[in-house]
Structure 1
Amino acid sequence: MLVDAAADLLQRKGYAGTGVSEVLSASATTKGSLYFHFPGGKEELAGEALRRRGEAMADFIRHLLESSPDAATAISAFAAALAARLSDSDYERGCALATATLDAATESEVIRGACADGYNSWLGLLAQRLEADGWSREDAESEAILALSALEGALVLARARQDPAPLHTSGRLLSERLRNAAPRR
């Protein structure tokens, strides 16, 4: 409950905007319990919350990649899912990792590491699927970086504009790019 409350607040407000008292209130947890489980306080709790959010998103990405006929279809579905989640949250919940990275990654190795691990996991999943679709390892890794960068940027833009169009556009264009540039089997 404590970690989930922290993750939700980090996703909405970022690291700097999330206070310990707010996390305690949202989770109905005492300060003593927080420091018992997370002696490093807010930073350690945030690192764990971001790690779990990264893993949950990796599970979702894995599901999309495994249930889609190709990476291009999965990316389009991922963009649509991100757009729906953002719209459903009234544009409050973007990507917890992006928010924390922009907010605190240069100040905290714990935060930077948790975010980097999450992103690397997502990139690895996408690159593996692209390789399975016939791309060379080098090209698969490059395309994965491009796709994730475009979708993260689209998510930030969609949140700022309170309009899911950047995600829909990015998903469509990335999917078209992958289909048009895909190695022929």
Structure 2
Amino acid sequence: MGQKGAETRARLLDATQELIESGGYFGAGLNQVIAASGAPRGSLYFHFPGGKDQLVGESVRRAGGEIGQAMDHLAATAASTEEFVAAVLEWLGERLEESGWRRGCPVATVALEMAATSDPLQEVCSEVYAGWESALRGMLAGRPDAGDLAVTVLALIEGALLLARAHRSREPLRSVGRRIATLLR
């Protein structure tokens, strides 16, 4: 694929990511993706012959990878697990607030809407969450409860993002951060 094709594909993924983060799977209609990306309709089917599920799946995987990279960066600069979790919550809060409370988790809405009806999308959501759990487990290495604690911390963060978005407030993230710090002690 040439540079122009790669740029068109990236624009389609960017538009889809933005639409699914703000409106979920059903908020990312193909006509909306085409309009938001400025790409010709034929390009959508050329780059994503599997249709909307392929487009959304790749977008979720890509967005999950971006968040995973941010987590890796924060992990590398944190002096402790508590500091790492606080930094992740702060970063997610900034991301959410700067987007006008539209960009919560790029996986949650798709998982809620599609996990029961689309095996490929369920698998992508599971893969992304498993990657984030693994990063958390890595930060908790050496603890006998690292696996359970990683799942608990991720679930608390996901719930806090949902509440922060619903309340248009970072307070749920701060509250969960305090509880996680207690759990990690």
SS at match of 1:96: coil
Residue 110 of structure 2 corresponds to 100
Q: Does residue 173 of structure 2 align to residue 167 of structure 1?
A: yes
Residue 154 of structure 1 corresponds to 160
| Alpha-carbon distance, 1:93 to partner | 1.1
Structure with larger RCO (C-alpha < 8 A, sep 6+): 1
Paired with 1:6 and 1:21, the residues of 2 have a C-alpha distance of 11
2:41 pairs, out of 8, 31, 53, with 31
Runs of 4+ in 1 over 3 A off after TM superposition: none
Q: How many residues align?
A: 175
Q: Does residue 95 of structure 2 align to residue 81 of structure 1?
A: no
Paired with 1:129 and 1:164, the residues of 2 have a C-alpha distance of 24
| Alpha-carbon distance, 1:77 to partner | 1.0
What amino acid maps onto 2:97 in structure 1? S
Contact 1:72 1:176 in 2 (8 A): no
Residue 61 of structure 1 corresponds to 71
1:4-19 residue pairs with structure 2 within 5 A? 4-19=14-29
Residues 28-69 of structure 1 deviation map (CA, whole Å, 9 limit, x = unaligned): 111111111111111110000001011111111111111101
Residue 183 of structure 1 corresponds to none
What amino acid maps onto 1:53 in structure 2? A
Paired with 2:146 and 2:19, the residues of 1 have a C-alpha distance of 34
Q: TM-score with structure 2 length normalisation? A: 0.91
Identical-residue share of aligned pairs (%) = 38
Over the aligned positions, Cα root-mean-square deviation in angstroms equals 1.0
What amino acid maps onto 1:29 in structure 2? A
Q: Does residue 12 of structure 2 align to residue 2 of structure 1?
A: yes
- Of 40-49 and 102-111, deviating more is 102-111
Structure 1's unaligned 5+ residue stretches are 181-185
SS at match of 1:16: helix
